[in-house]
Amino acid sequence: MAARVPLDVDLEDKLLYGLTPTRLVYLVIALLSAFAIWSAHWSITPVRGAAAAALSVVGAVAAWGRWRGRPLDRWLTDLSLFVLATYRVRWRRR
């Protein structure tokens, strides 16, 4: 019995606007955090608006941002693994 393997088994699922589940969670958390900053009355309105807008932009960059074909979170993961693998932190005893 001959069987064919589907070609798209290893591709990530796209849920909404071309976002994978992980990237969609990045966007939703950033937008909810921006709404929480906007709703809290810790500062004057322009400051809260600027902080909420900046957080929304960070979330959009985390969700859709790519550099050289790789998502932003993979760049950050690779950078942190590189730093951990190449630098050693030692406590100095006095």
pLDDT one-digit tens code per residue, 20-60: 888 999 999 999 999 999 999 888 999 999 999 999 999 99
Which among 26, 9, 10, 41 is positioned nearest to 72, based on CA atoms?
26
pLDDT band at 5 (very low <50, low <70, confident <90, very high): confident
55-75 pLDDT, tens digit each: 999 999 989 988 888 888 889
Burial bucket for residue 11 (CB in 10 Å: 0-12, 13-18, 19+)? exposed
Q: What's the pLDDT at 20?
A: 86
Which among 65, 62, 67, 8 is positioned nearest to 33, based on CA atoms?
62
